[in-house]
Structure 1
């Protein structure tokens, strides 16, 4: 049994092996998504992370969920040597991604700061003379964080973007809670960030892969099986794209430059034990470009990388897949 609904600027999909438990499972998922949005959304002035930005330069005690999300983001930065860095917030905003896409789509022509893209298609910035001022991200190491006491000092001028890792964290948390509460197998899919928990259906959860996670079900590039307590995450540059400064840009930023990375991969899907780890690796791979396959292989992470020209590279351990006809 499955259900889907809009959440976190993308589509949330929930599957359970016991149809009778879908209602209870859905309630848990909605609760988790509402909590992560209230803690981590940079588009909500009332979110906890927005209040943290307002208190820049001062010591702030944050709530348990934001502390967990911040710890996850800083761990991702540490494990990738800063290739995935939460301090890219200012760079992402400078590129024009300063509002939730769902809101921007309804008001895309009102001002230069309000333009981005919908799930499909590309939006034009109202004034291409408005160009981003690129520069290296401040760096994750500048964020002072005591995870035990949940104390944070965010330096002035440093803007956090926890979007990717926070969404992956939500998938991990929700799948674990749903399995514990419902007692059946479950699969949570948040815009291509997937986490399975509990006994899967016979043959595993069949996951359709493609440039567009919403269209992949009917037009998959390939299909793989996800088994008990596994995770997959796909990062790509084909959906969240818009025009800015006379060129096409997207939502993944290279912290080393503050700009979008050189185009090598269209999508990267990584399998890992947690959605957070899979998402961290898939995002890093987009930024690393040509060096991504070797980087993933050294970390023993199975992955499928689709190049901008359509070439497909897999790393050792990637599961057997059924190619689309």
Structure 2
């Protein structure tokens, strides 16, 4: 997703293995908002990165069944991930770490070899949230031996929500934060709202060809199976795992975009939809979440009032 508005101040830069974009409704407020965003990104990376051996997540995964004490930020990120597992009945689950690693995603995406002849050896069904012993009051975490967490998408969505809220407070104006398709807005939006160009699973970077929507509050997230991919053992792979199998879900949707009250809620629902496949539209309708689902052949399905496509987002 790419966000655009009428003459906002904006900056984009690499972060968390993706691209971070920041837009502010008041051009003079960009520096203050950027300072907040930088601090939030550094904090979530130190807490939740799978690719830093010094991160809290890496230390917890390496504890081999021993209890570890975690920071308040990691505790919040873990609570968010466990809540996602609860509301999706395990379809979005933080204990997929071993499964994701088995598929070959054991280094940053930039460091992945696009072609790897080694066979894929699946880890099998994941242990699930009951393998996570979590004392929230003491902030003490113990993972059963062999279990590894991947807070991945929910942590990034949480960072977007927190950064947008705190940046809007610091800047005194409307703010939009987009972390690789996890998007959150806070404060007073520009007239007409923030215009968002929706990623559609194509390789094109031309936002003028993408459908657009406008949002004034909450979050919007797009999950997909076609852009961040690699090959291993003759298979085309991506990072969204079905916890029931430890393998990729059946490929039904190339992208799913969801709007919700927060980026965390939107991301949880869009990830769940990818895993659910054909069951996703009914699930989104029951949840009352506007969504745009694009099949592999390009057919678009919309639920809960998602508007018809309007091209031309870069304005």
What interval of TM-score do these two structures reach, taking the shorter chain for normalisation? over 0.9
Distance 1:43 1:209 in 2: 28
Shift of 1:317: 2.5
Of residues 128, 143, 146 in structure 1, which corresponds to 2:132? Answer: 143
* Alignment partner, residue 26 of structure 1: 34
Distance 2:206 2:25 in 1: 19
Shift of 1:211: 3.0
User: How do 1:88-103 and structure 2 match up within 5 A?
Assistant: 88-102=96-110
SS at match of 2:221: strand
Shift of 1:219: 4.5
* Alignment partner, residue 249 of structure 1: 237
Distance 1:13 1:35 in 2: 17
Matching of residue 73 in structure 1 with residue 81 in structure 2? yes
Distance 1:260 1:101 in 2: 17
User: How do 1:289-308 and structure 2 match up within 5 A?
Assistant: 289-308=277-296
Shift of 1:101: 1.4
* Alignment partner, residue 275 of structure 2: 287
* Alignment partner, residue 112 of structure 1: none
Distance 2:138 2:80 in 1: 16
CA RMSD of aligned residues (A): 1.6
* Alignment partner, residue 58 of structure 1: 66
TM-score by length of 1: 0.90
SS at match of 2:214: strand
SS at match of 1:254: coil
Shift of 1:216: 4.9
Flag the structure with more relative contact order, 1 or 2, with Cα contacts below 8 A and sequence separation at least 6: 2
Structure 1 residues not aligned, in runs of 5+: 105-114, 117-122
Structure 2 residues not aligned, in runs of 5+: 1-8
Count of residues in correspondence between the two structures: 305
Q: Following superposition, which runs of at least 4 residues in structure 1 exceed 6 angstroms of deviation?
A: none
User: How do 1:160-175 and structure 2 match up within 5 A?
Assistant: 160-175=149-164
Which piece of structure 1 moves more, 50-59 or 62-71?
Answer: 50-59
Of residues 215, 226, 231 in structure 1, which corresponds to 2:219? Answer: 231
